[in-house]
Structure 1
Amino acid sequence: MRTLPEPAVRHWDFPRGIASAALMLRFGAERGLPRDTLLDGSDLTADDLADPVAEINAHQELAVVRNLAAHLPRAGIAAGRHYHATTFGVLGHAFLSAATMQDAVDMALRYLDLSFTFTGPTAALDGDRLVISLHPAGLPDDVRPFLVERDLAAIHTVIGELVTGEVPVLAVDLAHAAPPDTSDHEEVFGLRPEFGAGRDRSVVDASVLARALPLASPEATALCERQCEDLATRRRRKPGVAGEVRRVLEHSARFEETMPVVARALGISPRTLRRRLTEAGTSYQALLDEVRADRAAALLPGASVEQVAAQLGFAEAASFIHAFRRWYGTTPSNYARSRGTSGG
């Protein structure tokens, strides 16, 4: 079994199609919520919603979600069940045409910014278990439980569609408190989640990754992947303020730039940059960590821990090791060994 790729993004502030916002509007309408109520603060128009190729920013969809969650705070699981492979457009067709479930998961992670996620999902193999973790720390408190449940239910709904059978879920942990009724959770996951767990994740028997998918087509996969790459390349040119900060940091030699230096490079004040990053659900430190984490993973196969620590601007290797463990859940040396290198 191959290792799983790192996700294409570790944040939610990326451009996205209209399909998810439109789905949330239909979901709310079925429950008696007026469209105008759900669109409040989103700046979305009737023309946007009628255009199947319209692209919006993450804050516009988040506004719709916030309005929906305000009226239906416990409907996250029910909303997530409305997401199907086809909801994701060309990315969803790439899932459907994949040879195995692992190929579909690989595609999802490589093109995560073509999805509608807000919770930064990652996937990792732990022995014979597949651990799907959500990372919603940057989300506003008023939408976090709703979006965690929506995204996790959507992931499991799509997996179930792809394998056309029962998904072998071993455990589900959710950080928020249990709702009065967990029947929707039990129907989606096949068990009652552990609430108040301090983390958001599901654990699935890794054997699901080897399952052959019934609609597999190498020709369709190749075509979908090319279209995904073209779409991702175009969208990644419009990254928003968080992406602009990442761009500056990615061009840093040793990550010595402070937030005022980056703000000046972007032509805005540090206070404005801090506010915009807060609105985007992130922070300068979080972005610095993301870029450092990606750079560390790229450098480790050919450099020692001490060399990578210096390259990333850490004063000492011990500080880097501590940070790396927080990013990846293991030490740099173990990470390098798992990829067939020593990591010094």
Structure 2
Amino acid sequence: MHEVEQAEVRDWDFPRGVASVEVMVEHAVERGVQAERILAGTGLTPAALTDPDRQIDAHTELAVVRALVRELGTDDSGLGVAVGRRYRISTFGIFGFACVSSATLREAISLALRYYSLGFAFCTPEVEWSEREVITRFHYDRVPADVQWFLVERDIVAIHRVMSDLLGGAVAFTRAEFAFPAPARPEPLATELGVEPAFGRAHTLFGVPAELLSQPLPLANQATWALCVGQCRDLVRRRRARTGIAAEVRERLLPAARPGGPGVPPTLDAVAADLAMSTRTLRRRLAEAGTSYRGLLDEVRHTLAEEMLTATPMSVEDIALRLGYAEATPFIHAFKRWTGTTPAAYRRGRIGSAAALRW
């Protein structure tokens, strides 16, 4: 067994809830810093942090991070460890409940990667599965240098805490390596992770024993898992609700893939012509909006594929054709990339979950 699995996002610039900001503000207040100083310039108030539906962009959380580091820490302060240990599975709301109700740690990790944008991390992970050890490499080259070490510490310690919550006891990493010079005080990190960290390495990574993967989670429940995953999927869609040019392109892609539509989506050139602009201009405007024609087409296909698998008796082959694929194979590969499973397995799971809930 040797596989590599990546997070669904490759960058930290995705919308998020305010629970992470609340965690950091609480830490600052306990250290004697007024909440208003940490939130200055963000448009947020302490009261807003209790709103579970409040959504912010990543740059707002980054402003809070910078204020926290300015008020409380340096690279050698251990601030990232102190803040990271405050993140628990309950911090992540329905996303956390979906992980808790997973059957095994392997399933929970795959789910976390698939819905990584429902978290608060700035570092993006890549997980390598092997027979003896599971290695998670952190990528953070796009994270601003002035807060890079804090966020690496915070995110790794937060993941360690969440894994410990999932398994019902402290997890000791097999190793922890950092592509940073050793801080003046590495002891808090070593104590938290249960292993002596190594610094000045080529990559930032941590490992856990492979045997933990198949260990049943204490709160595993298939029906709860199915409900929570459905809510995670809906939350991702709401957060990705688009405006402006991206919404206009998306609207032009939807009719082609809906039942009764022509099946073949319009090309980028055709969409640009319909919007009375050049292909180059459309491509540039989509890039400025943080998306692309290919990304929007994937979103539309993903959404409609799940709808058709759940609500219609159409075969996988017919759905593939309806979505504009020449045959089923490339659709199956794409669906597995979107969801981590095959269309047939997804349909069986949805049918099974519905039956369990009716029972």
TM-score of the aligned structures, taking structure 1 as reference length: 0.70
The structure having more radius of gyration, on CA atoms, is 2
- Determine if the alignment matches structure 1 residue 140 to structure 2 residue 157: no
Counterpart for residue 133 of structure 2: 129
* Structure 1 residue 205, shift from structure 2 partner: 1.1
Counterpart for residue 181 of structure 2: 177
Counterpart for residue 99 of structure 2: 95
Q: What runs of 5+ residues in structure 2 fail to find an aligned partner?
A: 251-265, 270-277, 297-324, 331-359
Aligned pairs (5 A) from 1:151-230: 151-230=155-234
Match of 1:231 among 221, 230, 235: 235
* Structure 1 residue 2, shift from structure 2 partner: 9.3
Offset from partner CA, 1:139-178 (integer Å, 9 cap, x none)? 1101110001100000011101111234241111111221
Counterpart for residue 19 of structure 2: 19
Separation in structure 2 between the aligned mates of residue 240 and residue 145 of structure 1, nearest angstrom = 35
Question: In 2 relative to 1, CA 267–189 (structure 1 residues): closer, same or farther, beyond 3 Å?
Answer: closer
8 Å contact from structure 2 (residues 137, 205) kept in 1: yes
8 Å contact from structure 2 (residues 2, 128) kept in 1: no
Question: In 2 relative to 1, CA 142–238 (structure 1 residues): closer, same or farther, beyond 3 Å?
Answer: farther
The aligned amino acid for 2:25 is L
Question: In 2 relative to 1, CA 203–266 (structure 1 residues): closer, same or farther, beyond 3 Å?
Answer: same
The aligned amino acid for 1:221 is W
Aligned pairs (5 A) from 1:243-254: none
Q: What runs of 5+ residues in structure 1 fail to find an aligned partner?
A: 255-260, 278-283, 292-297, 304-344
Question: In 2 relative to 1, CA 99–47 (structure 1 residues): closer, same or farther, beyond 3 Å?
Answer: same
Question: In 2 relative to 1, CA 104–192 (structure 1 residues): closer, same or farther, beyond 3 Å?
Answer: same
Question: In 2 relative to 1, CA 45–168 (structure 1 residues): closer, same or farther, beyond 3 Å?
Answer: closer
Separation in structure 1 between the aligned mates of residue 104 and residue 4 of structure 2, nearest angstrom = 13
Q: Secondary structure at the match of 2:177?
A: strand
* Structure 1 residue 50, shift from structure 2 partner: 3.4
Counterpart for residue 37 of structure 1: 37
Separation in structure 2 between the aligned mates of residue 105 and residue 191 of structure 1, nearest angstrom = 21
Pairwise CA RMSD of aligned residues? 3.7
Q: Secondary structure at the match of 1:62?
A: helix
The aligned amino acid for 1:223 is L
Identity %: 36
Question: In 2 relative to 1, CA 184–148 (structure 1 residues): closer, same or farther, beyond 3 Å?
Answer: same
8 Å contact from structure 1 (residues 167, 208) kept in 2: no
8 Å contact from structure 1 (residues 263, 269) kept in 2: no
Q: Secondary structure at the match of 1:224?
A: helix
The aligned amino acid for 1:94 is A
Q: Secondary structure at the match of 1:29?
A: helix
* Structure 1 residue 45, shift from structure 2 partner: 2.8
Offset from partner CA, 1:210-245 (integer Å, 9 cap, x none)? 11111111111111011111101111224999x99x
8 Å contact from structure 1 (residues 171, 204) kept in 2: yes
Question: In 2 relative to 1, CA 240–148 (structure 1 residues): closer, same or farther, beyond 3 Å?
Answer: farther
Separation in structure 2 between the aligned mates of residue 209 and residue 166 of structure 1, nearest angstrom = 15
The aligned amino acid for 2:218 is P
- Determine if the alignment matches structure 1 residue 149 to structure 2 residue 153: yes
The aligned amino acid for 2:214 is A
* Structure 1 residue 194, shift from structure 2 partner: 0.9
* Structure 1 residue 268, shift from structure 2 partner: 5.7
Question: In 2 relative to 1, CA 28–188 (structure 1 residues): closer, same or farther, beyond 3 Å?
Answer: same
Separation in structure 2 between the aligned mates of residue 186 and residue 35 of structure 1, nearest angstrom = 30
Aligned pairs (5 A) from 1:261-276: 264-265=281-282, 273=288
Separation in structure 2 between the aligned mates of residue 239 and residue 184 of structure 1, nearest angstrom = 44
- Determine if the alignment matches structure 1 residue 66 to structure 2 residue 66: yes
Offset from partner CA, 1:79-129 (integer Å, 9 cap, x none)? 110000000000101111111111111110110010111101221213421
The aligned amino acid for 1:264 is T
8 Å contact from structure 1 (residues 5, 110) kept in 2: no
8 Å contact from structure 1 (residues 16, 114) kept in 2: yes
| Number of residue equivalences | 278
TM-score of the aligned structures, taking structure 2 as reference length: 0.68
* Structure 1 residue 6, shift from structure 2 partner: 3.4
Match of 1:77 among 78, 81, 84: 81
The aligned amino acid for 1:122 is E
* Structure 1 residue 30, shift from structure 2 partner: 1.1
8 Å contact from structure 1 (residues 13, 240) kept in 2: no
8 Å contact from structure 1 (residues 186, 193) kept in 2: yes
Separation in structure 1 between the aligned mates of residue 243 and residue 208 of structure 2, nearest angstrom = 33
